[in-house]
Every structure is written in C-alpha cells, then in structure tokens.
Structure 1
Amino acid sequence: MTLIPAPSRCAPGQGLFTFTAATPLTADPVLARAAAWLRHALTSATGLPLLEGPGGVEIRHTVGLGPEEYRLTATTESVLIEASAQAGAFYGAQTLRQLLDPAAFRAGRTGDRTWSIPAIEIADAPTYGWRGCLIDVARHFLPKNDLLRYIDLLAAHKLNVLHLHLTDDQGWRLEIRKYPKLTEVGAWRRESPLGARRHRLFDGRPHGGFYSQDDIREIVSYAADRSVTVLPEIDLPGHTQAAIAAYPELGNLDVPLGVRTEWGVGENVINVSDETIAFFTDVLDEVLELFPGEYICVGGDETPKTQWNESLPAKERMRELGLRDADELQTWLMRHFTDYLLARGRKPLGWDELLEGGLPPGLTVGAWRGDRCTSMAARAGHDVVVSPFAETYLDFRQAEGDQEPVPIGSVTSLRAVHAFDPVPHGLTGQERSRILGAQAALWTEHIDSPRLLDYMAFPRLAAFAEAMWSDERDFEDFLVRLAVHEKRLDALGVEYRPATGPHPWQRRPDAPGHPRTRAEIDSELADWTSNLRP
C-alpha cells in the first residue's frame, strides 16, 4: 500500500469499491464533522455528490477505541470507518482519501475518471499523542490563507499540533487590543538579513504583518475541524525586542529600540518590574480568550542575562527574593506566568533553558537541545515534548553542496528524519511515559516565502509524520510509498524538494548560508548544556 504514515495493521482484500453518483455518505451525529470534511474534499475533486443515505460510505461511532484510533473496512459493496471520537474518524477519512487516485487531492475536477479504492481492512492508531510542527511566523510572516493551507497539510499527514511562534525580536504577530502598539509598531521591521547573518547582507525591504483576533478565531476553528490544536507561543523574557520597541518601558535601557533587523540571540530582554509582569499578564488574558487548547507556550529560551546583571532594579529583585543568580531570577519570573496558566486550567510549555535555574512546577518542557535535556526534564517529573534541533529542525539544509537554498546547520536528511526516535536511551518506564511526543520545527529566518517553506518542509515533514505515527518503520518501503505520495503533494500544489536536488528556481544564490558539520553542531550543543544543574 502507499499510505503515509504507514498504518499499524493492514490486510488487503479482493476487488474494488467504486464510487458513483449514487454513492451515499453518512455518519453518526457525534462524528458529523469528519463526514462534512470528507464530503467537501471528495466532492470538490470528483464531482460526486456523496449525499446522505444508507449504505455506501459510513462513519460509525464505536466505543472501545482510542480518541485517535480508527478502523477502516472496505469491501466491494461498502466502506465503513469506525471511531470513538472526531479525531479518529477524521484520520480514517484521510486514509480513505489516500486510497483513491492522487487526483482526489485536487481542489477541482480534472476530467472524468473512475474513482475506486481497494478492498482492505485497516486498524490504525498513533504511537505518540503529540505530533506537532512549529511554524515561526515571527521572523517571516505567513499570511492567513497560507497558514490555513499548512493546517490542511499537517492534517493530511495526521499531525495534530500547530505550534505558532507568534512573537520574537523581529516581529510581533498577534493583535492585543489592550496594547495596540504591539502590532502598530512591533509587527514590522525596516529590513531583513539576506542569507546568514555572518555575511552582513540586508535586503533593504520592509517586512511585516500580523493576525487580527478574528483571524486567530478563524485559524483555530479551521484547525479544530481538522483535529489540529493551535498552540500559541508568547516568548518571554528574551526574544522580546519587538515588544520593547512598541513599549520602551518594558526594557532595561533608557534608549529607544527598533524592531530587530538581525537574526541571532539579542541582548534586549524585558525587565522584571511589577508593571512589566502585569503587562504580559494582560497579554496572556487575551491569548487565553483566543486559544482554547490545553497548552500555552511562554518561551524561556535564549535569554541573555547581561542586562539583568547590570540592572540595579534586577539586582534588587534578586536580593529581596534571596536568589543566587539571574538564572534563578528567570525561573522566578517564569513561575509567575506558569502559575497564572495553571490557575486557569491551562498547561504551560517552556523551552529547556529553564532547566538552568530550576523548572517551575507544572511546566511541560520543550526539549530542543538534545537527549540530555529530555532526560533531565523527564527524570525531574516533567512532561516533555521533544524537538532536538539537529534532528527535527527543518530549516537545516537537506544535503551537502551549495545547491541548497540558504544552507545552514548540519545536514538533516530525509532518512535521518524518518529514523528519529524521541525517547532517549536509559529512561525508566515511568520516565518514558513523560515523553508526550515530538514536533518538527520550521524556523523562518531563512525561509522568506511560502514556496521556500514548502521546499524545506516536504518531503521531510511526511517522514517526520510517519516517525511519530508508525511504530515500525522501513525507510526503503517509505521511499516506494513516497513516490506515490509526491503525486498527492503535486495535486495539492506543494513545491517539495525533489530527491535529485532543487529545481533551478528553488535555489538562492543571492542569499549565502552558513553550512556546518554535525561535529560542529554537537560541540555547540555541549557548550550550551555545560552549565545544566542536575
């Protein structure tokens, strides 16, 4: 079979089920959203009405299955999808679409054809509950319609979390009604680097954009209909120069700042005054209204302590709280926001740098600096979402050679992504249960268009989806299935990277990169984690 991700169990039958203009589609009321999605998707591509009625294709509510589990049984006479919840029914519907000709992934008809699927029995459920993708819309803004398209692409691969990196030094992308300057000032910068920052080249073009609150409501609703949860990130206390540019009283300096125009880790962080804490509490009040999901990310990564170590108010705060250093000051500050979220029934997610000053209680850790951070967080009793940069950052180059557009980092190959295992060796069973799953990351410093986003994401995101869904993996078999799956991506208009290398128009000779070896990456990782406290 050519399904991606590969199902848990699959038994081919004899013959075909053929869709006709008389084929009905019906669903139990609790699973009606999955049926509505399937009807819309297939009717657009096939022209078949798929009206309600008995027989034909049925989506049936069945107790005893997990929330994302489904069974699909196709005979020559009927198709039955069984699930206990909306997510499982939706994934069964996605599998049904993959069983059809790749033309079923188009938005309109391309001619008359016979629409059939093979007789088959499939029993399927994911290995990990958290199967996510981070899209950094702060560095380069992704317009709403392009983001909705990406939700469809995540859903087509049975990924279930869209982590939106909404704020950073280079842009603030979320309307906050109480503080309009966050988008009036913070949502645009005067120019962007052209290629890796070491070359000191800039494009001279203003860049910006933001999502209105109604945009976010639309995005969240659209995603929910496709069993995708949108996880917002408001990055604190570092990566905040865009906010400080809009409201200078949030910073530590007496000089005005603009929205940052360079990549990398900036020195400008928010101060630790009561007024600044109240400001970002107000921001989170509006975030909670917009994003109903269980998790909210409050950042905590890459926070230089230089300004706090030189700030008299920060030093006084450390003295009055009896804190040893600025790392503990960061944990104290972040604990305010994590406690705030926990008191409102939400779960805070923060990056693994918070290990350096002690993890706030109740924090779920986003482990991006390798197995050591993952293991330390799990052993400390914290849930972990794994996203190691050397294995899952899809902004890293895909192959050796200067043909790759803006090549940075070490090579993260399709094979390596497919082989990724989020659970480090040496954990006990209890500690392993703390690993919720993983997410790939599309950081967009060097991804300045939806076309380049496609190139960097696919087909590696399909390989990642299989790594998170399928318990047993066979890369050579995946490549066989991928050859068919690429026709589906073609039908969806995804400009993925060909196995033979980029098309001429996918190259970026104008934007030089900074490729590194895996040994250099590993050495950098060791430096980053050398001060972790057991």
Structure 2
Amino acid sequence: MKISHYFLVLFIAILSSCNNQIKKPIEPNIIPIPLSQKIQEGVFILDSSTSIITDNQLKNVSDFFTSFLKDSYNLNLSDKKEKNSIQFKIDASIKNEEGYTLKVEKNIVSIAAKTAKGAFYGVQSFIQLLPVKSASKQIAVQCLDIKDEPRFVYRGMHLDVGRHFFSVDFIKKYINIMSMLKMNTFHWHLTEDQGWRIEIKKYPKLQEIAAFRKETLIGSYANKPHKFDGKKYGGFYTQEEIKEVVKYATERQVTVIPEIEMPGHSQAAIAAYPELGCTGKQVEVATKWGVFDEVYCPNEKTFQFLEDVIDEIIPLFPGKYIHIGGDEAPKTRWKNCDYCQKLIKKEGLKDEHELQSYFITRMEKYINSKGKQIIGWDEILEGGLAPNATVMSWRGIAGAIKAAKEKHDVILTPNTHCYFDHYQSKNPNEPLAIGGFLPLRKVYNFNPIPEELTKEEEKYVLGAQGNLWTEYIPTEDQAEYMAFPRAIALAEVVWSSKENRNYNNFVKRLAFFNERLDAMDVNYANHLYEIKGTLHSDVNKISYQLEAPSQGKVIRFTTDGSEPDKNSKIYSEEILITKNTEIKAATFNAEGKKLSSVFTKKIQPHKAVGQKVSLNVNPHRSYNEGGIKALTNGIYGSDKSYEDKEWLGFNGDDVEVTIEFDKPTEINSISTRFHNGNSQWIYAPKEVTIKLELENGKVVLSKNKLADRETTLIDLKFNFAELNTDKQKVKSLKLTIPNYGIIPKGNPGEGNKAWTFIDEIIVK
C-alpha cells in the first residue's frame, strides 16, 4: 500500500508539473510588418508578477496597456518593481515622431519612443505577440528586437454616415480596429444630400429636418423604375457624443477629421433652410443616391451659416484639419442665378468653376483664421486651388500629381485602389455594392507615390486613405464586411516599407490577424480561401474546374444546389457537365470547418456551347475577363452587376457575333439579354438583326426591335421554329448589335457614345 501511495503522489506531481508548463510563444505575425524585426532566443513570461515601469510622459499609454491586459486576459500586473518588467521609455534619439523600438528579453520588455504616439504603436505590436485568448496565468512572449517607423504621416480611413447612420458604439469599434493597425486618422463624413449628422445648436432645423429623409431607395440606383421603402430614416450625433468619440480616438492616437460638405452635396441643409439655395424654394432631403443640382448659393446668408457651423465644429475636433468636400458640385443653379452671375462679374471671375474656387478660398480664409487648415476632394483644383489647401485625390491620381507639382500637400485615395464600397469578389453571393471591383491583392499592391512626381515633389504626398461610402451599406455588419480586410492591406501599404511588403507573406499573417477580429466579433470578409471556377468546353465535352489557395485545405462540393458541408464530396478532378447543373463548393479545413464563402455556379448547356464564336471587335479590356467564350459557355451573367466575367462590355462599338456550328444543327430559338444601366452610361441596343445560314444555302434575316427601355435588364428572344416550317438545320448564325448611339442630354455621360453589355447567347 505504501508503494501504491508513493506512485500516486508521484503521478499527481508529474501531472501538476505538466499543467504548470508554459505554452510556447505564438509566432510573430505583426501587421503592419515592421521595418526591422529580429527573432532572439528565449521567451519573456507575462504574468501577475510582471510590473510596469514608465516615464511620466507615457503614463497614458502604459495605462491603456494595463487596461487591455485586464480586459482581455483578466491579468492584473504587479505594483512592485520586479525583475520581470515592461518598461516604457522616452528616447529622444528616435527621429521619427511615430517611430518606436520594441525589445523583448527574458526578463525585460522595453518599449521606447520619442512620443506617446510611437509608444502606443509599440504597444500594438507587442499585443500582436500575445495569443488572442489564454486561460493560462502565464503567457510566453517570443524574444525579439523591433525597430519600426511609418512610411507616411497620414494613414487614414473614412466613413460616410450621411447615406446610412451608425451608432457611437460602432464608430468606436471602427476607430479601435484602425488603431490596432497603426492608422492615425479617422475621416468622418458628417453631412450629405441624404442627411445631416452633427448637432449644430444655432440651427435646430438641421436636427429636426436635415437629419431625416422620408424614405430610402431600395436596391440599385441603376434599377428602373426606382422603388422606395416608405420608411422615415435618419439620426444625428449630439455634440456630447462627438466629444465622446473624439476622446476615445485621442486615447488611441487617432485624429478625427470632420467633413462638412460645401458647396455641393448640401441638399439636406437646404431642405432645412431653403434660403441657402439659389432658388429659395423648399426641397426635401434626398431619398436616393447621386449628384444633385441643389448646392449652396454663394451669398452672405450662406457664408454666415457656414461660418456659424464652423464655429461650433472647431471646439469639438482638436486636429488641425477641417474637410470641406468640394466635390461633385453641379453648376446648373449658379448658371441660372442672377446673384451668382453678378458675383462672377463683380469678382472678375471667368466662369462658375472659378466661382467655386472663390467659394472654397473664402471658406478657407475663415477656417485658417480659426487656426485650422482645409482638406478638399480634387475638384477644388478646378478654377484655381485655394492657397493653403490639402487635396484628397479620388478621381484616380491626376489630381494628386497636379497638386503636388503646385506644391500642395496631397492625400491619395483613388477610387481604383481605395474605394472599399466596390465589390471585393466576383462571387454572385456578394452583397449589393455600388459597382467596381477592388480585390484585396489590388489594394495591397497600391503605391501612393505617383511615378510622375520628382523626388522633390514626392514630399508633398502625406499618405493615403481608404474610403467607405455607404449608399449600399445599410448595416454595421455590412460596413465591417466591406472595410475589412481591405483596410488591413492599406494599413500595411501606408506604414511598411515597400521592400518589406510581400503579398503572400501578408496573407499568411492576415490569417492570424483574423483570429483577433473573430474575438472582437468583426464581420470581416474572408476571401483567403475563396474558390474560383473555370469552364472547359468543346463540341464533345463540357467540364468545370475548381481551384482555391487551399494550403493543405480541401474543396468540398455538391452538384444539386444543396449547401456543401463537412460530409460533401471532396473535389479531386474536373466535374463533367451533361445537364443543367448547380455547383456549390467551399473550402474546409481538416476538422471540417468551412473557411470560405460558398461558391455557386449554375451551368445550363445549350447548342452553342463549345462551338466556334467570333467577334468583329474586341470587348473593352476592362470588361473582357471571360473572353469571347463567355458569350456561349452556358453560364449567365449576374443580375446584380455587369462586372462579373460573364458580361462582355463594348465602348461605343457596333458588335457582330458569329457562331459557326461544327455540323448543321436543328435549332428552335435564340435568346440573350443586354444591360441597360443608363446611370452608368450603359444602354441596350434599339434593335438586333439575326442572320441564319441554313443547310440548304438559304439565308434567314430577322430584325428584332427592343422597345422596353425602363428596366435594367432587357431580353431578346427569337423563335426560329415558327419561321422554319420545313425544319431546315442551321450552319451558322450572326447577331448584329448596333450601338445605341450618343447618350441623350440630361443623362449621365451625355454627349458620349453609350456602352453595350452582352450576356450569354443561348441557342436551343
């Protein structure tokens, strides 16, 4: 019995020893990747005996860190100055205001910086060395040595709350994620045609009228006729709530820049105070998206109103910038306004564009007199740039180049790389977006320094910003989905050196960062394991190939339209298509957890699939991803967007599509459809001619008029069986599709040739 008791005690001791073992440290996967990072031998043990030692100037940063440890790990650090310590130090030798060093040794962690900003960023890097969750009372941290500093001084994210309104809690969450990524500027777009979102006490109608619209557009603006939900919508932030957000941001080293739009995008304010417009007539807060003629009239009432607004705005925002918009301001009202025309003559201005410059310059002088500077969208370059203005270049990079060459500071935010309201995937299950296609890789490959600038001119580029416009983003979950992970990619673009950046390495680190987002309940888009598909066809065989960056994962799929799960068939070879098939597939890990969104593809074989197809003109390079075979591959384009690879787009061309059959073929019908999104310069043709060459040598011609021009998608259906009474087989067919012509006056793109977008040509 004594022997048994001895072994029991020994077993318990061994078990206890195993339970007390320290876990291995997590592998460093810091985002943004540091300038220099050297892994050292050993680990630092973070536990309740760890003490904090800090310079007084960094007390707020150390307090932030200790609060984080308590909230995240229920870990309270010791008040005693133990050997095992984390030290915050001011180091004046660090030249960059936001730079820091982080040295993790076996007994000491040292975070040194010139300023509190740098120390805060050191903390953020250290936090990424900790596990997302830990039940252990001791956390092992990898010993390493980091020297780091940002590439750009301006690292921003934007949020439009005018189109859709978001809670204070969400704004804080958004800012907190930014701070984790070492982004330092939150651009808060507070006023719009569809809603005024900030309390101005001197003008109560802004809260009573301008903050609410009577209803909201349902679906895409391109869909005709427009439909509305009939529900009053809106809200605004009180000045106390603004202060609360700004305080929260300041604690995280984030500067908040308010945007008060002028002279355009001001219909909501004019709805509250009609005297601010040129006509003085009552208008309503806008209920749909777009650019509106109602702009501020540059009269003394307007300037007094805006100066009063600025007077209430300035005490709320301690940063040096006020964003005044300046974009998309139609000149229609100004051209027909007697006061505006007299003002143009009085001030010796050339035209309405110079009147806008006069407007912006006058407001800039007032804002400068209050100790602030303005930022405006690149339209403020038109008619001459205000003297001290910073330009935010969104219409590509041309505005940035022009501003920098004129020695103005510039922030890059081109819609080609920084508009996160664009689609990020071509999966048909993606939520409705405004258009465009901006995948993660394209964001990551963005270079904010235009090649056209000299070394001297480059210094005017302050940095870059991601924009989240919310016309089609009604919920906070969807805002997160559209912003992340693209904002994470941009964070590395603006912080890390070009030499250190590598997309494949970034994706590897992003997989770890996503675990942190999971813990924060962030609804990010996960396209890391997204599946892509390719159809292969000839006259004898149709098959479909699936692929994904699986990295040891598997693709599971179904062919009956049911959702794939951990028990679905594992993809190993191309899927043979012999009938109408709906493939659904997803990437799974070894444990059976689904890692990707569900890929869906409907394939509907018909008699033109695999046959020879030719075009008289090439599609535009931006809308030719699927190539010519997209016209006859059995896969229909998306109903929501013409930008998937199944639609082919032609810019102003008359199009001829010829299909030649490998042998004479009996056909009954031909059908296709055209996109008719007039707001995007896309018009369906007025008529289509179909020419069929028959086996007996005869030719059949049919002109088909397309009369219905109100809907976004317009069908063409031709029934050959009704004409083919003697059952002749067809050798070839040709569709002649004339371009619509010049876009009519008063429509977007007026005076330009229309685009033509063609979907699948179905032959049965």
SS at match of 2:482: helix
2:272 is matched with: 246
Matched, 1:497 2:525: yes
- TM-superposed CA distance for 1:317, in Å, is 0.9
- Which of residues 425, 439, 463 in structure 2 aligns to 1:413? 439
- Which of residues 156, 162, 174 in structure 1 aligns to 2:180? 156
- TM-superposed CA distance for 1:516, in Å, is 4.0
- Which of residues 196, 208, 211 in structure 1 aligns to 2:220? 196
CA spacing shift, 1:520–1:208, aligned 2, 3 Å: farther
- TM-superposed CA distance for 1:521, in Å, is 13
- TM-superposed CA distance for 1:33, in Å, is 1.1
RMSD between aligned residues: 2.2
Matched, 1:147 2:171: yes
Q: Write 1 or 2 for the structure with the bigger share of helix.
A: 1
Q: Do the aligned partners of 2:426 and 2:644 also contact (CA within 8 Å) in 1?
A: no
- Distance in 1 between the 2:506 and 2:116 partners? 28
Matched, 1:92 2:122: yes
- Equivalent AA in structure 1 for residue 382 of structure 2: E
Q: How does 1:83-482 map to 2 (within 5 A)?
A: 83-103=113-133, 111-112=135-136, 114-199=138-223, 200-471=226-497, 472=499, 473-482=501-510
- Distance in 1 between the 2:446 and 2:203 partners? 42
- Distance in 2 between the 1:516 and 1:353 partners? 27
- Distance in 1 between the 2:404 and 2:169 partners? 38
- Which of residues 81, 84, 91 in structure 1 aligns to 2:111? 81
- Distance in 1 between the 2:339 and 2:317 partners? 34
1:4 is matched with: 31
- Distance in 2 between the 1:92 and 1:479 partners? 22
2:10 is matched with: none
- Equivalent AA in structure 1 for residue 425 of structure 2: A
- Distance in 2 between the 1:293 and 1:410 partners? 33
Q: In the TM superposition, what whole-angstrom CA distance separates every residue of 1:136-193 from its partner, at most 9, and x where no partner exists? A: 0111111111101111010011000000000010000010111111111111112212
- Distance in 1 between the 2:361 and 2:414 partners? 24
1:508 is matched with: none
Matched, 1:69 2:95: no
CA spacing shift, 1:392–1:425, aligned 2, 3 Å: same
* Number of residue pairs aligned between Structure 1 and Structure 2: 516
- TM-superposed CA distance for 1:301, in Å, is 0.3
- Which of residues 57, 71, 79 in structure 2 aligns to 1:44? 71
Q: Do the aligned partners of 1:16 and 1:116 also contact (CA within 8 Å) in 2?
A: yes
1:507 is matched with: none
Bigger RCO (CA 8 Å, 6+ sep): 1
- Distance in 2 between the 1:305 and 1:46 partners? 58
- TM-superposed CA distance for 1:354, in Å, is 1.4
Q: Do the aligned partners of 1:42 and 1:97 also contact (CA within 8 Å) in 2?
A: no
- TM-superposed CA distance for 1:407, in Å, is 3.2
Q: In the TM superposition, what whole-angstrom CA distance separates every residue of 1:378-398 from its partner, at most 9, and x where no partner exists? A: 011110011001110001000
Q: Do the aligned partners of 1:406 and 1:446 also contact (CA within 8 Å) in 2?
A: yes
- Equivalent AA in structure 2 for residue 15 of structure 1: G
Q: Write 1 or 2 for the structure with the bigger share of strand.
A: 2
List runs of 5+ in structure 1 lacking aligned partners.
Answer: 104-109, 505-510, 529-534
Regions of 4+ moved over 3 Å: 110-114, 500-504, 511-525
Q: In the TM superposition, what whole-angstrom CA distance separates every residue of 1:72-103 from its partner, at most 9, and x where no partner exists? A: 00011111100111110000011111000022
- Distance in 1 between the 2:309 and 2:376 partners? 17
Larger Rg over CA atoms: 2
1:57 is matched with: 86
Q: Do the aligned partners of 1:267 and 1:307 also contact (CA within 8 Å) in 2?
A: yes
CA spacing shift, 1:482–1:522, aligned 2, 3 Å: farther
- Distance in 1 between the 2:515 and 2:331 partners? 50
- Equivalent AA in structure 1 for residue 232 of structure 2: P
CA spacing shift, 1:58–1:36, aligned 2, 3 Å: same
Matched, 1:31 2:61: no
Which shows bigger deviation, 322-331 or 19-28?
19-28
List runs of 5+ in structure 2 lacking aligned partners.
Answer: 1-27, 531-595, 599-637, 653-679, 682-747, 750-764
- Equivalent AA in structure 1 for residue 125 of structure 2: T
SS at match of 2:228: coil
Which shows bigger deviation, 230-239 or 217-226?
217-226
- Distance in 2 between the 1:421 and 1:376 partners? 17
- TM-superposed CA distance for 1:344, in Å, is 2.1
Q: In the TM superposition, what whole-angstrom CA distance separates every residue of 1:13-45 from its partner, at most 9, and x where no partner exists? A: 111111111111221110111111111111111
TM-score when normalising by structure 2? 0.65
- Distance in 2 between the 1:418 and 1:428 partners? 23
2:41 is matched with: 14
- Distance in 2 between the 1:112 and 1:170 partners? 51
- Equivalent AA in structure 2 for residue 130 of structure 1: Y
Which shows bigger deviation, 302-311 or 338-347?
338-347
CA spacing shift, 1:275–1:512, aligned 2, 3 Å: farther
- Distance in 2 between the 1:229 and 1:243 partners? 26
